[in-house]
């Protein structure tokens, strides 16, 4: 079945450091891949997405490239800020036989950025 394996946290970085959060997936077909972010006390917000191989999703300085050959979708940011402190979730969605397209989430990675 479909699944997402995400780098375990927590991750603590100094401001302006480089961020990588690893994400690999298992899927039977050709999923769409997503990164969602959850700020303290809030719901999930879509950060970026990619719907086919070699697509690069980007938003707010974050980037992730859909790598079919390595089944990966690693999240990167060149220079993190304190305001990036949050929990990041990698997720996939695949068209199912019933027409369902629910999201499968990784376990989440908590990022703390210190000044």
Task: List residues near other proteins by CB under 8 A.
Answer: 31-32, 34, 36, 42-46, 49, 51, 89, 93-96, 98-108
Contacts of 104 (CB under 8 A, 6+ apart): 2, 3, 4, 91, 92, 93
* CB of residue 46 to other proteins, shortest distance in Å: 6
CB of 15 to other proteins, least distance (A): 27
- Kindly give the residue spans of alpha helices, DSSP state H, lying in 4-109: none
Cβ nearer to other proteins, comparing 42 with 69: 42
For residues 84 and 108, which CB has a smaller minimum distance to other proteins in the complex?
A: 108
Question: Residue 70, exposed/middle/buried by CB under 10 A (0-12, 13-18, 19+)?
Answer: exposed
Q: How far is the CB of 6 from other proteins (least distance, A)?
A: 10
């Amino acid at each position: 079945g479909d699944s997402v394996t995400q780098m375990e946290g927590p991750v603590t970085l100094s401001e302006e450091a480089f961020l990588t959060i690893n994400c690999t997936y298992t899927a039977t077909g050709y999923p769409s891949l997503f990164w969602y972010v959850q700020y303290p006390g809030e719901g999930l917000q879509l950060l970026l997405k990619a719907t086919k191989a070699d697509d690069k999703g980007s938003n707010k300085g974050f980037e992730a490239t859909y790598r079919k050959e390595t089944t990966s979708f690693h999240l990167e940011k060149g220079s993190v800020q304190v305001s990036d402190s949050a929990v990041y979730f990698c997720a996939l969605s695949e068209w199912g036989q019933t027409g369902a397209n629910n999201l499968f989430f990784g376990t989440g990675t908590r990022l703390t950025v210190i000044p």
